[in-house]
Structure 1
């Protein structure tokens, strides 16, 4: 009662202070109006400004409400709307906005406390307390929050005067210590609040000094004192921070001292707290979200094996990492396998999918848990329908969730009956799933997500095995084959096995004959299966037909393969001939230029040559006495200068040679080095890297490259490539002493050097390895990485990091640039996990950055085409129409002879049911290269 009166007095004081403030403002406005009219003008201006602000705020509120009507899952939009409504004092609209947000998302502790305090102020009268109680019950379900439980208990104290109010307060406190009493850092506050309440109740039954209590009053006082003893004993048995002060308080409060059993429990809890303290200190010192520290803590508690503490630690972790699907999955797996308490398991699964709705695995686990704990069919179906609207990020996720639902429906069917409601529902679900894959999933992702028709295969097996309806199974397999699967051997063998198990030999034979004709990836294997089948089942006539068909098919296939190999060899020879011809032409041009230059140089060149020969004769005589290995660096430099007829190009490093013949060979090698654009011969390609895209104006490239790569390991030599005039050509080679350094050097790829991205790639002789291609980045979906387009060209890595770091831990940022180093306005940002990337997409897509509206999506780059022009493999899946400089001709006539018109059919090579690459189908020709067209025209 005392607590209730205090709360009421506090509210009355607040109301009186508010009334006084209103009176002061009214008096102030009256006084202002009495001063020579100035007060009136100011008030009018203030009213005009306030009205304009109100109009702007109302327009913004309407805009936010309209945006939420389009996309109800915009989390930041909900927050902005709630903030603006609270600022405007729109209490009813504010309540509705919060309720809509709570239906879609679990709310944080701060949002709940703000909402609860507003509702408490709105419902001061006693009859409306039940609404606040209901709101508290909803709040404590989202996360385990000690502060919300404390607020709940404090609010319930204000209703002690109502019937059953005392019991309700104690009930809420009991639930609070059960829910958060094991919270190592914040649980003590809940225990202390509970004890303070019971101490206050004791003071109401404690008699004044000298007063004699009746027997009933004595029993009541004794029971109250025992309640406080019990609370102390229960708290001291739990490992909590600063539990030593609680024990000292108990010693002081207890008149009879502390029992031995309590001391024993306290010491054991103290020992457990000593084990937990390093983990708690690590959490205090760490920066949010502290996922690694929590993970180590959880692993420790799992070894200890106390379910209550494990669950509490999971709840603490999830409160700070609510958007990490892996942590929710780990928690739900623990509950499914260890505790198996229905209410606890299902509520945790529900919270998991509300926090991470984009994660298919959580929905799948939720559906299994519902079935495992006997949930009714409407509930399971409702959860499945919600999963379909969750917005998964992959087409295959929808296939998996449909498979899980179909498995559930299949387990409900009693196949001993020929027909039942459950069986019809199962067949209807299969039909709906196929329509869903064709319409919704293909429209959103551009792919079906089920190229191998797994759902249809399962349906066919169910019809054949359980329903004994082999005809329906055959119809389904025919549909599967018409969806582009007829060229895969494994699909035909699946069909054959189905017929072998539930069909008859006639249909088995038909399936294998069709397989021999249609299979494009492994026809030999299908042929072998057909022959084996005829050995077991067939007659002599059947055997002869099978042998004839398989031999015909394989012979035709071998001829096609020989033609393909011959064409590839011809193309390789042509490319080699072209390369040799280009090299020869370049050498002729270089020799011609040198001859012209020599004619112009005339007497100066002759004088330099005479000097060179004189120096050579002197040094040769000296060298014959010293030996081949004693030539000095200065002498080699003079020799090379003579070879060039001028000063050697910067960065040139001559090789030590022995006699005059060797030096002449070295001169020829130097000449080839400077004149040829191709890679010079290195002593060891395995320990070398190729550097390109450097600026031509780079000063002292050798020194610059040495500075860049000396951290990768000991360098054997650096060879920048120069033109005949001595200018740097923008590329070169770095050879290390060890192959281990190459991996470190490749990490410097795309490092910016004087405003241009430097390209670093393995040093490979492409004449010996014509198919060698290097592409650094992934071309498949990367769930932990986002792709940003529309960035301003002035945006750098630091600005982008500031923009993205609020959404998660950033591992890497890559700005996409042209070869010149100019930005393209594109970037890739890699986060620590896929949950952070997904949240970044939700919150950043459509954001304005320096007046640019950026687009953000999960990184899913298209397949990069690395085929060479002129190779037999098509450059793209569909042929491109190439027009001249003036575009499409008026007549639209094709100048290509009809004999050269050939349609190319592409099929996908499949390994283990997965499409790998496209190759020409059997019986179909590949697109011809330019050289093939030339041969065909010349042969006419």
Structure 2
């Protein structure tokens, strides 16, 4: 729920009554006493400047509520009647006025008119009571009619009838107002009692009828819960005593009055007692506006639980008078009316007021249009409301989208159901769609909402407009804006398929199969074309589609592989960085844990008892012995690994490829061998070596190869054979472009002549290392089955696996890069050799050369 704050209207109502006396004599507007003439003359220049400033502000920004209020206030002070009327009308055209402003306006006009012109003032009161529920405004209206209408004042039959009708309207609108509604009832009974006094005493029948009328008003009043219900009961009993009935006028009990009246009174009193605490909460002056709003909502939930729509509606009216610009309150109010009252003038009136108070809420306008349609409003009225809604500023484009669709929905329903002369012209729907497209298309590109709008438009062009060319034009217009949106093409194709236009569908596929769509959209449209030709086309059509789609799918597949490889490299690099960071943190935490225990504390802990001291020394000696065993076994394993590595990477079986004059082949048949590539490039010549890449796990060809040539001339001739067929597949040939700074790649050759790439070499060494660790563990298990030996095996395995896991699968093999790591037990007193003194770590190439020395 949005934050609730007091509206400008409420603020205006708070300040207006305090700063300007609405009960002053309106004829004194603009007049000043002799004592204030000097001060007025001094202020006149300042007021003129303020008027010019306010007029300029309102001309540029008519929606400035505060400027309207200040402008009206200044004009009223200066007595400029014509400008004041115009200013009030201009403001009311944009905003509802507060009840106090209506009272002020009506009193000003009443002071300037005669009793014969009271109709104009009454119209002002009517406009005021139609905007908000205000008991003071109703009271002023009733008093004005009784005082200034000649027929009512003279108690003529027409005047009495007019006043009674006005009182009944007031009772219907405000009588259920618990806090102030009794004011209307009191005024009503006083009016009827005044009529009774004018009746001739001899006319007993007329007098008795009037007495019954007054008694009936009292009975109605006593059945409604009010804050001063007991005062009304005392007034009724006193009146009955005047009529000669024996009642105790000073007692607030119900003794002596009619049973049904007493029962209704007791029920009303019980209802008021149940609501008294809620009334107190919404009328308190020491709470914030947000708290008051929440109290209103709680009160409304309480009233709804009793299921009396009249009481709920009067409470909603009280709430919106206090919070006129709370969109949540208006939405809640209108939902309740739609649920309980359905359609009708009362609901339409509430929607009209809601749209005036909160014009920036698109949902209110949408539901306003639906309310008008439910009430069978004319097209002229609905169109006027729709055009007015388009002049408002909404917070999201979706609100404009919903508004346009609601308008189209209504036109479609009325066009489909109307008969005879009431049938609407389809041009209204087309104009509405065009208006929506012109406004929304620049702001909703590649949006599902815009797609729904155009799809709806195209369907109505076919169903209601019977115009296929116009429907195709709608889709073409959408594709100009959202050509990269796959769903737009699919919608267009679906329409043509539904109509059975096979050739048109094929033409659309030819236009869009090569476009790039998001996600797997490009592959999806290619597969959709193939399915379409299988279901609707001939064999020639299918072959043509396959011929067009296959290269596109291969291109997309290669692009996906490149993206996946790139993502894998980035993910591997990130994991390595995280692993290094974790190792550093663990080392730091280990050192800090050792350092945390001070020598004094260690001495304190070890001096607890001689027994504990001996046990701790034994434990330290045992741990030192185990560490020495682990260190010795670790050295043996590393020595054997290094010997095996030197043996397996014999320089005689190692070749260095620089890829400086190399062709890269893709889409190679999995069955292709080196001989096949030699035959393929026999007409080119100059082939020095061929490297087919194999899967490191299965040993099968990956469909990729490198071919080295003697010079660039032979390489250019080989690249010219791009897209030629080899073993039933079209080869993709391009010049190899090794990464900048790459000095070459080592290829380990197996005894059978098979070349291992970097990953395969890593995998091979990893397997050899694991086997070596297992053999070492099994040999030692036969000699010593103690826990120390088992722990040494586990440690050796862990160190071996760590070495394998730290392989960086980028560029050259760097799994055995040396580090200047201080060995366990290292001290500064130990003499350093020349090799240990070299703090600079060796590079990958330097370390590789150590293994490649003959």
What is the TM-score when the length of structure 1 is the normalising length?
0.55
Residue number in structure 2 paired with 1:194: 188
Matches within 5 A, 1:515-594: 515-518=512-515, 519-523=517-521, 524-572=523-571
Query: Which one of the candidate residues 453, 469, 472 is aligned to 1:471?
Result: 469
Cα displacement string for residues 786-838 of structure 1 (whole angstroms, at most 9, x for unaligned residues): xxxxxxxxxxxxxxxxxxxxxxxxxxxxxxxxxxxxxxxxxxxxxxxxxxxxx
**1:102 corresponding residue in structure 2:** 92
How far 1:629 sits from its partner (Å)? 12
Instruction: Give 1:161 shift.
Output: 3.4
Cross-structure match for 1:226 = 212
User: Hey, what does 1:911 align to over in structure 2?
Assistant: none
State the distance in 2 between where 1:252 and 1:517 align.
95
**Does residue 1:499 correspond to 2:500, yes or no?**
no
1:112 to 2:106 alignment: no
In 1, the alpha carbon distance for the partners of 2:392 and 2:335 equals 21
**Are the structure 2 counterparts of residues 63 and 937 from structure 1 closer, same or farther at C-alpha, using a change threshold of 3 Å?**
farther
Measure how far apart 1:302 and its partner are: 2.4
Q: Deviations over 1:329-361 (max 9, x none)?
A: 222223233224522121111100000000001
The answer to whether the 8 A contact 1:358-1:391 is kept is: yes
The correspondence for 1:70, drawn from 60, 66, 75, is 60
The CA deviation string for residues 427-477 of structure 1, in whole angstroms up to 9 with x for no partner, is 2332233223357xx5xxx98987734322211111233334333222221
Matched, 1:174 2:172: no
Q: Which residue of 1 aligns with 2:221?
A: 235
Shift of 1:73: 1.2
Decide which moves more: 515-524 or 52-61: 515-524
Native 8 Å contact 1:489 1:522 kept in 2: no
SS in 2 for 1:357: coil
Q: Hey, what does 1:388 align to over in structure 2?
A: 390
Secondary structure (helix, strand or coil) at the match of 1:422 reads: coil
- How much does 1:578 deviate? 8.0
Q: Is the 8 A contact 1:68 1:78 kept in 2?
A: yes
> Partner residue of 2:82?
92
Residue in 2 that maps onto 1:250 = 236
State whether residues 185 and 221 of structure 2, in contact with CA within 8 Å, keep that contact through their aligned partners in structure 1: yes
Specify which of 433, 436, 440 is matched with residue 439 of structure 2: 436
8 Å CA contact 2:414, 2:424 repeated in 1: no
Q: Identify the residue that residue 739 of structure 2 maps to in structure 1.
A: 935
1:291 equivalenced with 2:299 (yes/no): no
TM-superposed CA distance for 1:159, in Å, is 2.8
Q: CA deviation at 1:193?
A: 1.3
Aligned partners of 1:15, 1:274: CA distance in 2, in Å?
41
Distance change >3 Å, CA 56–CA 627, structure 1 → 2: farther
Distance in 1 separating the partners of 2:176 and 2:51: 43
The aligned residue for residue 130 of structure 1 is 119
Superposition pairs for residues 593-632 of structure 1, below 5 Å?
625-626=611-612
Choose from 337, 347, 356 the match for 1:335. Answer: 337
- Alpha-carbon distance between aligned partners in 1 of 2:83 and 2:259, rounded to the nearest angstrom: 59
Q: Distance in 2 between matches of 1:613 and 1:243?
A: 88
3-state SS of paired residue (1:143): coil
- Contact 1:357–1:390 (CA under 8 A) maintained in structure 2: yes
Three-state SS of the structure 2 residue aligned to 1:142 is coil
How far apart are the structure 2 equivalents of 1:421 and 1:67? Answer: 44
> What root-mean-square deviation, in Å, do the aligned CA atoms of Structure 1 and Structure 2 show?
4.3
Structure 2 unaligned runs (5+)? Answer: 1-22, 246-255, 587-594, 625-736, 745-854
Deviation at 1:72, TM superposition (A): 1.2
Residue 939 of structure 1 deviates from its aligned partner by: 8.8
**Cα deviation 1:887-910 (Å, max 9, x = unaligned):** xxxxxxxxxxxxxxxxxxxxxxxx
* Cα distance change on mapping 1:383 and 1:615 into 2, 3 Å: closer
Matches within 5 A, 1:561-710: 561-572=560-571, 625-626=611-612
Question: Equivalent residue for 1:281?
Answer: 280
User: In the alignment, is residue 144 of structure 1 matched against residue 133 of structure 2?
Assistant: yes
Distance change (3 Å), C-alpha of 1:580 and 1:375: closer
SS of corresponding position for 1:430: helix
Structure 2 CA distance, aligned partners of 1:176 and 1:154?
12
Distance in 2 separating the partners of 1:96 and 1:630: 102
Match in the other structure for 1:404: 406
Structure 2 residue corresponding to 1:355, chosen from 354, 357, 363: 357
Residue deviations 1:398-451, cap 9 Å, x none? 22212222222333435999x997112322332233223357xx5xxx989877
- How far did residue 251 of structure 1 move? 2.8
Q: 1:455 maps to what in 2?
A: 453
Aligned equivalents of 1:99 and 1:172: distance in 2? 25
Deviates more, 1:356-365 or 1:60-69: 60-69
Q: How many Å separate the matches in 2 of 1:287 and 1:629?
A: 73
* Superposed counterparts of 1:47-62, under 5 Å: 47=38, 50-62=40-52
Deviation at 1:585, TM superposition (A): 13
Give the 3 Å change call, closer, same or farther, for CA 448–224 of structure 1 in structure 2.
Answer: farther
1:188–1:626 CA distance, 2 compared to 1 (3 A) = farther
How far residue 584 of structure 1 moved from its aligned partner, in angstroms, is 12
Deviation at 1:179, TM superposition (A): 0.6
CA 1:525–1:300: 2 relative to 1, 3 Å: farther
Q: Higher RCO, 1 or 2 (CA under 8 Å, sep at least 6)?
A: 2
Once residues 187 and 138 of structure 1 are traced to their aligned partners in structure 2, the CA distance between those partners, rounded to angstroms, is 20
Summarize deviations over 1:908-932 as a string: whole Å, max 9, x none.
Answer: xxxxxxxxxxxxxxxxxxxxxxxxx
Distance across 2 between alignment mates of 1:415 and 1:196: 55
For residues 84 and 623 of structure 2, the distance between their equivalents in structure 1, rounded to whole angstroms, comes to 91
> Are 2:420 and 1:425 equivalent residues in the alignment?
no
Distance 1:238 1:323 in 2: 30
Residue deviations 1:672-717, cap 9 Å, x none? Answer: xxxxxxxxxxxxxxxxxxxxxxxxxxxxxxxxxxxxxxxxxxxxxx
Distance 2:266 2:601 in 1: 95
Q: What CA distance in whole angstroms lies between the structure 2 residues aligned with 1:437 and 1:532?
A: 35
| Corresponding residue for residue 668 of structure 2 | none
Aligned partners of 2:447 and 2:182: how far apart in 1? Answer: 52
Partner of 1:508: 505
Unaligned runs of 5+ in 1: 1-12, 30-42, 208-212, 588-608, 632-657, 664-932
CA 1:310–1:580: 2 relative to 1, 3 Å = closer
The question of whether the paired residues in 1 share the 8 Å contact of 2:171 and 2:185 is answered with yes
Tell me: CA distance 1:265–1:615, structure 2 relative to 1, closer, same or farther (3 Å): closer
Q: Against the structure 1 CA distance between its residues 505 and 261, is the aligned structure 2 distance closer, same or farther, given a 3 Å change threshold?
A: same
Taking structure 1 as reference, are residues 17 and 272 closer, same or farther at Cα in structure 2, changes over 3 Å only?
A: closer
> Is the Cα–Cα contact under 8 Å of residues 224 and 268 in structure 2 kept in the other structure?
yes
Higher helix share goes to which structure?
2
Give per-residue Cα distances to partners, 1:545-590, cap 9 Å, x unaligned. 4455554433322211211122233345566778999999999xxx
Pair 1:154-2:127 in alignment: no
Superposition deviation, residue 154 in structure 1: 0.7
Q: Deviations over 1:73-124 (max 9, x none)?
A: 111111111122222232332222112111111111222222223223222x
Question: 2:57 & 2:149 partners in 1: Cα distance?
Answer: 44
Q: Deviations for 1:760-787, whole angstroms, at most 9, x for unmatched residues?
A: xxxxxxxxxxxxxxxxxxxxxxxxxxxx
Q: How far has the Cα of 1:147 moved from its partner?
A: 0.9
Deviation at 1:622, TM superposition (A): 6.3
Residues 105 and 148 of structure 1: is their aligned pair in 2 closer, same or farther, counting only changes over 3 Å? same
CA contact (8 A) 1:396 1:450 kept: no
1:827-842 alignment runs, 5 A limit: none
Query: Matched residue pairs, number?
Result: 578
Q: Is the 8 A contact 2:118 2:149 kept in 1?
A: no
